Chains A and B, each alone.
Chain A
Amino acid sequence: MAATCPVGFNVQRLRELVRAEYDRVAREPQGNFHFHRGPQYASRMLGYDAEELAAIPDESTASFAGVGNPQRIGPIALGETVLDVGCGAGMDLLLAARRTGSTGRAIGVDITPAMIERAKSAALKAGLWQTIEIRRGTAEELPVESESVDVIISNGVLNLSSDKLQSFGEIYRVLRPGGRLHLADVVVQRELSLAARSDVDLWAA
């Protein structure tokens, strides 16, 4: 992924396009998109446990659009504080909340109101509301205290950031010393062209 956007790049437009695209994923998960979605994709192509996903409300799993599987990167212990950067409809967040248990916390941050509503509703239905807290915000300005998080998870979100160095700086800031980053995202094998990096529609896609 490109680390930063070119000079003159319209960051506000990028954020609006990202919000609109994932608002549509939240409202019409069965719609036409250029990426896979849903629990069957998650279990078949990304190695999520199908039985575990069955315990998560459909409104959360249907809008899942991740690109990897943070749950496979490492364990989350009981009582830990987990932050999901770009939690979307909350599938990874709810799975993390089940691991950290009632003595821990699972905080989700997302920019899209429709996704946040889905995640909140799913947390309530799953009986995880006392563990889960969802805040509106961006990866570039995480609404989270410094050095307060044991594990950060994120799935297919940082590639959408207009300033990835700033986003990683925020991740570093909120992690406790010794804290872990369990990140799933997309990579390419060579540097993108300036034209590609200047195309706001490509960034948002």
Chain B
Amino acid sequence: VEGKIVERFDCYEGTSAKAKLSKDLYVQGVNFFARKPVYPLEVEGYPDNNLL
């Protein structure tokens, strides 16, 4: 299954959590999308994907 982050949010901006967390952790909210393959063989690199 392939997925990707499509958007990021500074959801903790202005909260006490933001102040407590280490800056280099850089906690943020993300929107993430993924899709379940239609066929078990529909995976990256499988040579016959286009034949399905």
Q: What total of chain B residues lie within 8 Å of the partner, measured CB to CB?
A: 31
Residues 148-176 of A, flagged 1 when their CB comes within 8 A of B and 0 if not, give 00000000100000000000000010011
Tally of contact residues, A, Cβ under 8 A:
33
Closest to B14 in A: A36
Specify which of B6, B20, B26 is in contact with A34 (CB 8 Å cutoff).
B20
Cβ of B25: which chain A residues have Cβ within 8 Å of it?
A: 188-190, 192
| CA gap between A72 and B30 in the complex, in Å | 11
Report the number of A-B residue pairs with Cβ-Cβ less than 8 Å.
99
Minimum CB–CB distance for B16 against chain A, Å: 4
B contact residues around A69 at 8 Å (CB):
7, 9, 31
Given known A172-B1, A186-B29, A189-B24, contact A180–B35 (CB-CB < 8 A): yes
* Beta-carbon contact of B36 and A176 below 8 Å: yes
Residues in chain B near residue A186, CB distance under 8 A: 11, 27-30
Asked if A185 lies at the interface with its beta carbon under 8 angstroms from chain B, I say yes
Q: Is B34 an interface residue (CB 8 A)?
A: yes
Interface of A is mostly: mixed
Residues of A within 8 A of B39 (CB): 177
From known contacts A35-B17, A45-B13, infer whether A177 and B36 are also in contact, taking CB-CB under 8 Å: yes
B28: chain A residues within 8 A (beta carbon): 186-187
- Report how far A18 CA is from B8 CA in the complex, Å: 24
Please give, as numbers and ranges, the residues of chain B lying within 8 Å of A68 by CB-CB distance: 7, 9, 11, 29-31
Residues of chain B within 8 A of A156, CB atoms compared: 29
CA distance A189 to B26 in the complex (A): 6
Q: Is B46 an interface residue (CB 8 A)?
A: no
Q: With A34-B15, A186-B27, A189-B26 given, is the CB distance from A45 to B32 under 8 Å? A: no
Chain B residues with Cβ under 8 A from A178's Cβ? Answer: 35-38
| 8 residue pairs bridging A and B, Cβ less than 8 Å apart | A34-B16, A67-B29, A68-B7, A69-B7, A72-B31, A181-B35, A184-B32, A187-B5
